[in-house]
């Protein structure tokens, strides 16, 4: 009888792995897609010397197509032109930080005593790239 009770207690715990795997795959797919979109926008910003308004709008629109709302997308990027120098200088760095919400991190959160508020998070992709924009130099 003890074995049956132990088995019945373990079944819900073991069954929680199946939806967790599916949820993790969904979250990873969204994070990978956001990384791809941000990397594309980052390369455009590298050529322009900064994140243009069109670049930011296009990036946010692509992220919204993944199922997020425009209000949920967090965008902190360099909006001032940076120019390439002869040697590396931190003044030529274009910085970016883009975040999207993760609505659910654990599939069976109530089973483990985790509230819905604690089960949320935000995924950020951040970094910096050097500008490829050359400063305008007047020739004689």
Q: Which residue shows structure tokens 């032109």? A: 81
Crossing angle (nearest 10°) for helices 2-15 and 17-48 = 20
Q: What is the pLDDT along the chain (140 residues), one digit of tens a residue?
A: 878 888 777 777 777 778 888 999 999 999 999 999 999 999 999 999 999 999 999 999 999 999 999 999 999 999 999 988 888 888 889 999 999 999 998 888 887 788 888 899 999 999 999 998 888 765 55
User: Side by side, which strands form the sheet with 93-102?
Assistant: 74-77, 93-102, 121-130
Q: What pLDDT, on a 0 to 100 scale, did the predictor assign at position 9?
A: 78
pLDDT of residue 110: 80
Angle at 117 (CA atoms; ends 9, 17), nearest 5 degrees: 35
**pLDDT of amino acid 140:** 52
Read off φ and ψ for residue 62, nearest 5 degrees.
-65, -40
> Model pTM greater than 0.85?
no
Question: What's the half-sphere exposure (Cβ side, CA atoms, 13 Å) at 115?
Answer: 2
């Amino acid at each position: 009888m003890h074995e049956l009770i132990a088995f019945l207690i373990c079944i819900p715990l073991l069954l929680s792995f199946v939806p967790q795997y599916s949820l993790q795959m969904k979250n990873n797919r969204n994070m990978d897609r956001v990384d791809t979109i941000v990397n594309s926008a980052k390369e455009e910003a590298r050529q322009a010397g900064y994140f243009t308004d069109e670049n930011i709008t296009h990036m946010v629109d692509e992220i919204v197509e993944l199922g997020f709302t425009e209000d949920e997308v967090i965008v902190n990027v360099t909006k001032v032109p940076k120019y390439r120098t002869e040697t590396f200088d931190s003044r030529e760095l274009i910085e970016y930080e883009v975040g999207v919400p993760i609505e659910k991190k654990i599939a069976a959160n109530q089973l483990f005593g985790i509230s819905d508020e604690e089960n949320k998070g935000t995924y950020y992709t951040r970094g910096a790239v050097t500008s490829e924009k050359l400063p305008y130099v007047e020739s004689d």
